[in-house]
Structure formats: C-alpha cells, structure tokens
Amino acid sequence: MLISAYAAMSGSYDYSEVARSVLIAILASYAALDLAGRVTAARGWVRSAWLTGGAAAMGLGIWAMHFKGMLAFQLPIPVSYHWPTVLLSLLVAILASAFALYVVSRQKLGLVRALVGSGIMASGISGMHYIGIAAMRLAATFRFHPLLVTLSVAFAIAFSFAALMLAFDLREETKQTASRKIASAIVMGAAVSAMHYTGMASVSFMPSAILPNLTHAASISSLGNNGIAIVTVIVLAAAVLTSSLDRQAEAELRHLNEELEHRVVERTTELVVVNDELKKLKDELRLVIDTIPALVWSKLPDGSADFFNQRFREYTGLPLEEGLGGGWMSVIHPEDRSKFEDEWHAALVAGETFDVEARLRRADGQYRQFLLRGVPLRDELGKIIKWYGTSTDIEERKRTEEALQEAHARLAHITRVMAMGELAAAIAHEVNQPLAAIVTNANFCLRQLANATPNLEKLREAIAEIANDGTRASAVISRIRALLQRGAPERVELDINQLIQEVNVLLRDELTRNRVSLRADLAADLPRVSGDPIQLQQVLINLVMNGIDAMRTLTDRKRELLIKSAKNHSEVFIQVQDSGEGLDPQQAERIFEPFFTTKPEGIGMGLSISRSIVESHGGRLWAESGSRGARFQFTLPTK
C-alpha cells in the first residue's frame, strides 16, 4: 500500500483495547477516591506511607489508561516506544497523583485552591500524555492541531477540578457509600478517557523518509500490552483491598476505642459514685468513732500510736501531736505503767489480743480506771499491719463491783452466823467435853494435894490432860470465832484434805446427833490450792449441813455421808454425797438461785453464796442426782 508523503497517515482504533483503557480509567478513579479517604484519615508516618503508596497506584492506573489508549491506536507502519521517555511519563503521572492526594487530604479546599490545584494537576496529566506521545518511535513526524490540543488541556483542567472536588467530598469515611463512589469513578473515568482521546485526535502523523532512532526503544507485543493491563489491575485491586482492610481495621479499632471510652466513662462515673459513697461512709465512720462512748485509737505494728479519736483527745487533754508515737503513755498512772508496758510489749511480740486494766489521767489531773483492749489487723499473709483498740471507762463498774463484793461478804457473814446458830448445840457440846474433862482432872488434883503424901506422877498426868483439854477447847473456839468474824478475803496456800478434816471435827457432834455415818475418801498427795480457808470452810459446812438435812427424815436405810477428794488434771475435785431422796429434776436447775429454798425455815442463800465463793476462786460448783441421794461437786484450780 502506497503512502503519500503529503497526506497524514490514517489510523484506526482497536475498540476492545479502548474499552479496556476506559475500564482502567474507571478503576484508577475508584482507587483515587478510596485512597483519598485513607490519606486523610491517617496521621504521621502512616499518612506519608499511604500518600506514597496511593500516588504510585493511582499514577500507574492513570498512566496505564493513557498508554493502553495509545496502544489501541493502530497505524499502517511499525511503532516502537523509547522506554526512558515512557518511564518519565509514568513518573509525571505518579507526581501528579501525589499532588492530587495531598491537596484533597487538607483540612480545607476553597475555590482558589481547587482551581490552582486543578491547573497543576492538569499540567501533570497533559505533560504525561504528550510525553507519552513523544516516546513513540516511527517513520513519521508529529503535527498537532492547536485547537484540539487546547481542548484536551481544557478537558484535563476540568477533569482535575471535578476529580479534586469529588475526592474531597468523598474523603470522609462516613460519606463513602458504594453507589456514590462507583458513580463518581465512572464520571471521572469517562472524563480522563475524553481528555486522552481528544489529545490523541490532536496529533496527525505525517510520513517521513527518515528512519526513527530506535536506541532504547522497544515495540510492545500483544503479550506486553495485556501484561500492562493485568499488572495495573492487580496493583489497583491491591491498593483498594489494602485500603478496605485498613478501613475495616480502623473501624474496629474505632469501635473498640468508643467502647473503651464508653466503659471508661461508665467506670469513671461508677468511681465518682463509689468515691462519694466512700467519703460519706468515711465521714459517718469518723462521726461514729468520735462519738462512740470509748477512747478509740490505732497503732502501727511497732506499737507507736498514729490515731486517737476526739473523745480520747478531750479526755486526756493531749494535743494530737504530743500523743502520737509513744507520747500517749504519759497519761497512764505511774503505778500501772510498768505492768501495762510489760503486757503491751508481750502482746506486740506474740501478735495476740491484749486486755489490761489501768488508770488513765483525765485532763483535770484526776485518774479513772479504764479497760484497754487491742486486736491486731493482719494482711492476707498473716503479717500485722495495724493495731486497733479501745479504752473503756470502768470506774463506775469497779465501784459497783467493790460494793457488790462488800454486800456479798456481809451476806456470807450473816449466813455463817445463822449456820453457827443452827450449830449452837453441837458447838456447846464440842466445847463442853474438854471443859468437863478439865473440871474432873482439876478435882482429882485437889484431892491428891489434900493427902499427906500426894501421888506426884498422877498429878503430873492429870495436869497434862488439863492442858490438852484446854488446848482442844481453845481450838474449837478459834474455829468458831474465825467463821463468825468479818474481814477481807485472804488467799493462802492450803491443803484441801486438812480443811475437810477440820470441818469434820467441827461438825462431829451434829453428825452424831443426827445419826449420820461420815466416810472420807481423801486422795493422797493432793496438790495445794490457793484460797481463803474461811470461805472454803463455809462452802464445805453448807454442803455437809444440806446433806444432813436431806437425810433427817430417812428411816428405811442408813444415813451415810461421803466426802471425797481427788486430782483431776490441773484441778482438785471435791464431792459431798448423801444417801437421801435425791434432787427433784424440776428443782435441780433452780437450787443455786438466790432465795430459792426447799426448807421451810431456810432463806435460800447457802448454795448461791457457795457457788459464788467457788467461782471467785476460779472453780465451779454443780449438783447431780445419783441412784441414791444427791451429789454436790466442786473444783478448785491447783496453784
């Protein structure tokens, strides 16, 4: 086929390639819209990474559309491409894309900035297009139609302006809906295609006899053509997929952050409420501690004080600064301080609760009796982290106890006097026996002295018996006198078996008069006990007399009374058992109540006083009904 040297060569388009170029333009436009949102949302180095990667993907897409559009144009002569110039057109496309993404990611996009930006972007796109044409190597020269060139540049400016405005409008993630993005991408793709094919129409190829310079030039085969399309689609798809995954990750992260912020707000609100409640409880606790009728304090593990309530400070008159540490010890009475310090130190070393009485000085200088109690607070490992305690005023209680003890002592004395009244006959008989023997022996001595030759040996024996009987009578009178005397209880070490024997001697005639047989089963080598002999003697007399009274009307069997002593662990055990009718089960629980009695002439105080005496000695007294008679038993701690 002959080609005229004066006529432009006619060319044709491969419309399948044109369609692929338009599709690539739409894909590139969609990727640009999608990437604009990621660049806008990112910050710092991530923003730079998205800007660089997005510009490369978007620039490649725009360049591929233009290059595919040129390959779609077929001339009757071979066409090669100068690949350095092709790469330059690609670089221009990438730079134009970077500029576009940078512009739309700014906070504001006014009309002036949009127009300037669209001009710069259009220059880059037009430059890319015409640089691409300049990369063509063929036996022809280029002739450009000025009007069409101008129109293509105008299309580029209009396309750039529209692209910037659409991308800026759709960059916010909340506005990006699939339908709007696809519609905008189609419009932008059509505009890019229109600009490209207008630019292609502005070029005429005039035949030339001069052969082209094919240095660094390469012809594009159909395989290379398809490769450009495939690589471009893969890169654009990867960019859109990466953007989508990043958007989803960001959305999830935003959701987690919002949920976390919501939880933080909830927890903060809860903490505010809890802190308000804690403050309220703290104020209420402080009010309770300050108004409680006791002196409240706390101390560190080493025993130094770190808190006193208001009542403590008001009572002692100590300023808080002076009482902290060990200064509070100054309010303890000097006579009680040494004992208190020993017990307090022992409690600190052992880590055990302590309970001690001491006199504390009041602000006016007067001392009152207090009960000081402290308990340790331990952590989960058992380590003491604090001591808490109270000091309670027991002055009035102590006075009441002393008055009660005085009244009790008087009542016990009255009971003893009454018991002695009941034993008057037996006591008279007990004293009368040695007195009668003294009179008899004295008369014998007088008769011997009246003789001319008195029997001195007989006189000596009679006088010795007089002395013995006098001592015997004196001992009986001393025991009776001791029982009748009122005095403060005196605790001494005593042998309980000896005490039982003395009571037996004292009550011997009463037992004989009531025909009661007494049997004593006393354990040998009993440990000694600490007690008041008069009070314990009173207990034994009460129990023996009750046994005698219980058997007074007994006629069908022998009247027997057993007094038994034994050692029971760290106690001494004493039992008094009679052979009477035993205890009435309905009355067994009440016989120790004050003023309860089963005797018509009784006052009901004997057993009540006896129990009080035993308990004051640290023991206990109880009664049991046996198969024959009643058993009264009590224990006393050994020394």
Give the tens place of pLDDT for each residue, 316-329.
887 877 777 777 77
Distance, in Å, from the CA atom of 219 to the CA atom of 193, rounded to the nearest integer, reads 23
Q: Kindly state whether residue 81 falls inside one of the protein's structural domains.
A: yes
Residue 382 backbone zone (phi > 0: left; psi -120 to 50: alpha; other: beta): left
In the predicted structure, residue 533 carries a pLDDT above the cut 60: yes
Residue 318 tokens read as: 């100590």
Shared domain check, 531 and 430: no
Distance, in Å, from the CA atom of 375 to the CA atom of 10, rounded to the nearest integer, reads 111
In the predicted structure, residue 144 carries a pLDDT above the cut 70: yes
Distance, in Å, from the CA atom of 609 to the CA atom of 542, rounded to the nearest integer, reads 10
DSSP 443-491: HHHHHHHHSSS--HHHHHHHHHHHHHHHHHHHHHHHHHHHHH-------
Shared domain check, 496 and 444: no
Locate all alpha helices (DSSP H) within 173-302, ordered by sequence.
178-201, 222-291
Q: Among 144-148, 402-406, 613-617, where is mean pLDDT lowest? A: 402-406
CATH code assigned at 541: 3.30.565.10
Q: Kindly state whether residue 277 falls inside one of the protein's structural domains.
A: no
Within 8 A by CB and 6+ apart from 219, the residues are 78, 79, 80, 81
Distance, in Å, from the CA atom of 341 to the CA atom of 513, rounded to the nearest integer, reads 60
Distance, in Å, from the CA atom of 527 to the CA atom of 495, rounded to the nearest integer, reads 8
- Residue 319's pLDDT is 80
- Residue 1's pLDDT is 43
Q: Among 105-114, 153-162, 295-304, where is mean pLDDT lowest? A: 105-114
Structural domain containing residue 629: 491-639
Greater pLDDT, 26 or 420: 26
Shared domain check, 158 and 110: yes
In the predicted structure, residue 294 carries a pLDDT above the cut 90: no
The alpha carbon of 211 is separated from its chain's Cα centroid by a whole number of angstroms, namely 94
Give the tens place of pLDDT for each residue, 389-415.
888 888 888 888 777 777 666 666 666
Shared domain check, 101 and 88: yes
Q: Among 72-76, 180-184, 234-238, 304-308, where is mean pLDDT lowest? A: 180-184
Ranges 111-125, 150-164, 193-207, 531-545, most confident: 531-545
In the predicted structure, residue 420 carries a pLDDT above the cut 70: no
- Residue 487's pLDDT is 52
Distance, in Å, from the CA atom of 82 to the CA atom of 92, rounded to the nearest integer, reads 16
pLDDT band at 431, cuts 50/70/90?
low
Angle CA 497–500–503, to nearest 5: 155
Task: Produce one character per residue of 385-411: b if its CB has 16 or more CB atoms within 10 Å, e if not.
Answer: eebebbbebeeeeeeeeeeeeeeebeb
- Residue 426's pLDDT is 47
Ranges 170-174, 404-408, 426-430, 523-527, most confident: 523-527
Phi, psi (deg, nearest 5) at residue 632:
-110, 130
Give the tens place of pLDDT for each residue, 66-86.
877 778 888 888 888 888 888
Q: Are 31 and 239 in contact (CB under 8 A)?
A: yes
End residue of a domain, out of 433, 455, 488: 488
> Could you give the strand order of the β-sheet that contains 136-137, starting from the edge strand earlier in sequence?
136-137, 80-82, 217-218
Q: Kindly state whether residue 73 falls inside one of the protein's structural domains.
A: yes
Q: Kindly state whether residue 7 falls inside one of the protein's structural domains.
A: no
CA distances from 166 to 53, 193, 197, 241 (A): 20, 17, 22, 21
Distance, in Å, from the CA atom of 624 to the CA atom of 631, rounded to the nearest integer, reads 5
Shared domain check, 414 and 340: no
Q: Among 10-14, 234-238, 311-315, 574-578, where is mean pLDDT lowest? A: 234-238
End residue of a domain, out of 488, 515, 530: 488
Residue 582 backbone zone (phi > 0: left; psi -120 to 50: alpha; other: beta): left
What is the pLDDT averaged over residues 290-298? 77
| Among 73, 70, 60, 74, residue whose Cα is nearest residue 24 | 60
HSE-up (13 A, CA, CB side) for residue 279: 6
Distance, in Å, from the CA atom of 275 to the CA atom of 270, rounded to the nearest integer, reads 8
**Contacts for 220-228 with beta carbons within 8 Å, 24 or more apart?**
220/71, 220/81, 225/17, 225/68, 225/71, 228/64, 228/67, 228/68
Q: Are 6 and 141 in contact (CB under 8 A)?
A: no
Locate all alpha helices (DSSP H) within 42-82, ordered by sequence.
45-72
**Residue 383 identity (one-letter amino acid):** K
Q: Kindly state whether residue 82 falls inside one of the protein's structural domains.
A: yes
End residue of a domain, out of 345, 374, 393: 393
Residue 481: strand, helix, or coil: helix
Residue 599 tokens read as: 């005797």
Mean pLDDT of the chain: 77
Shared domain check, 212 and 132: yes
Residue 355 tokens read as: 């309970």
Give the tens place of pLDDT for each residue, 467-522.
876 776 676 566 556 555 555 556 788 999 999 988 887 778 778 888 889 999 99
Q: Beta strand pairing status for 12-13 and 571-578?
A: unpaired
Share of the chain above pLDDT 90, in %: 5
In the predicted structure, residue 628 carries a pLDDT above the cut 80: no
Q: Which helix (H) or strand (E) holds 133?
A: helix 111-134
Q: Kindly state whether residue 263 falls inside one of the protein's structural domains.
A: no
Q: Are 139 and 209 in contact (CB under 8 A)?
A: yes
For residue 634, how many other CB atoms are within 10 A of its CB? 25
Within 8 A by CB and 6+ apart from 61, the residues are 24, 25, 27, 28, 31, 32, 232, 235, 236
- Residue 3's pLDDT is 46
Share of the chain above pLDDT 70, in %: 75
HSE-up (13 A, CA, CB side) for residue 245: 5
Helix count (H) and strand count (E) of the chain?
17, 19
CATH code assigned at 367: 3.30.450.20
Shared domain check, 132 and 86: yes
Q: Which helix (H) or strand (E) holds 377?
A: strand 367-378
User: What is the pTM assigned to this prediction?
Assistant: 0.39
Distance, in Å, from the CA atom of 275 to the CA atom of 81, rounded to the nearest integer, reads 78
Shared domain check, 434 and 369: no
Structural domains counted in the chain: 4
Q: Among 23-32, 293-302, 472-481, where is mean pLDDT lowest? A: 472-481
Shared domain check, 202 and 93: yes
Q: Among 227-236, 258-267, 274-283, where is mean pLDDT lowest? A: 227-236
Q: Which helix (H) or strand (E) holds 628?
A: none
What is the pLDDT averaged over residues 530-546? 84
Q: Kindly state whether residue 265 falls inside one of the protein's structural domains.
A: no
Residue 624 tokens read as: 């049991």
Shared domain check, 147 and 55: yes
Q: Kindly state whether residue 348 falls inside one of the protein's structural domains.
A: yes
Shared domain check, 411 and 372: no
For residue 365, how many other CB atoms are within 10 A of its CB? 7
CATH code assigned at 453: 1.10.287
Shared domain check, 102 and 16: yes
- Residue 619's pLDDT is 92
pLDDT band at 454, cuts 50/70/90?
confident
Within 8 A by CB and 6+ apart from 224, the residues are none
